[in-house]
A = this chain, B = another copy of it.
Amino acid sequence: MHLFLKRVQIPLRIGKMANSKFEYVRNFESEDRLLPNCWIIVRIDGKNFHKYSSKHNFTKPNDARALNLMNRSAFCVMKEYKDIVLSYGESDEYSFVLRKETELHNRRGTKLLTHITSLFSSSYVFHWRDYFHDQSMLYPPYFDGRIVLYPSDNNLRDYLSWRQVDTHINNLYNTTFWNLVQKGNLTNREAQERLSGTFSSDKNEILFSEFGINYNNEPIMFRKGTILLRKKIKNPHRDKLHQVVLPIFEDMMHDEFWIQHPEILSNIP
């Protein structure tokens, strides 16, 4: 896009400066229209966030400020892209689900992917101060983006279950690991060895018996990640319902979730 004026129609002959001689290079660009009637997922994922979180002293194993900043950035993306029906975030990653029928940007994958990744990235820096206050950002972070298609509602549900189970597995592991290190005085290596080969039940047991922690009482955002949904709510000062994006913390792997939020799969714009 040009800053001040629409790209002008240039008369064909403008001396030796005519661009027509070089314009053939546009033909090297390729189309990438995504298959219709598929759910479109854009997933972004922090690049080198191990280092980034360490340099910025993120609290371990979960930093509520960092998670809320991720949520805020995702919120900015949803405000701009009305065809995103659900977003799901955990740790330094976020998945955006565009409705099956979307014709946004004529379903060109590259456009959808880069716009969302770009807006998420700039929002993260823009809103940093709201969450980290006096702690300065030392350098700009960046994110990996990818796009995946899912043909059926079940595939979509399984995708979201996959990410949410991943949240559970990683968070239970990390919570136990960091308790062993921070309160149990184990080295990182000792903690890793201690947890090697253990099951969920073993980790729950360690947390409870050694640190008095009932894992199920840990903050729900840490345990389940954040789901952003569009909901219609009543405005006390007005009659009409209006739509907002709300964070919720529920289990997507059970049917109840999908029954409670039928608008997700209903595919109505």
- Interface of A toward B, CB cutoff 8 Å: 1-8, 10-11, 13-15, 17-19, 21-31, 33, 35-38, 44-50, 53, 58, 60-61, 63, 66, 76, 80, 91-93, 110-111, 113-115, 117-127, 137, 139-152, 155, 158-159, 161-162, 165-166, 168-170, 173-174, 177-178, 197-201, 253
CA–CA, A152 and B124, complex, Å: 37
Number of identical protomers: 4
**How far apart are A88's CB and chain B's nearest CB, in angstroms?**
13
Instruction: Return the chain B residue nearest A122 by Cβ.
Output: B140
The distance from the CB of A98 to the nearest CB of chain B, in whole angstroms, is: 14
Chain B hits for A149, CB < 8 A: 28, 35
A119 — nearest CB in chain B belongs to which residue? B142
Please, how many angstroms separate the alpha-carbon atoms of A178 and B203 in the complex? Answer: 65
- Cross-chain contact of A126 among B137, B150, B151 (Cβ < 8 A): B137
Q: Is the CB of A168 within 8 A of B3?
A: no
B38 contacts A35, C-beta separation under 8 Å? yes
Smallest Cβ distance from A1 to chain B, in angstroms?
A: 5
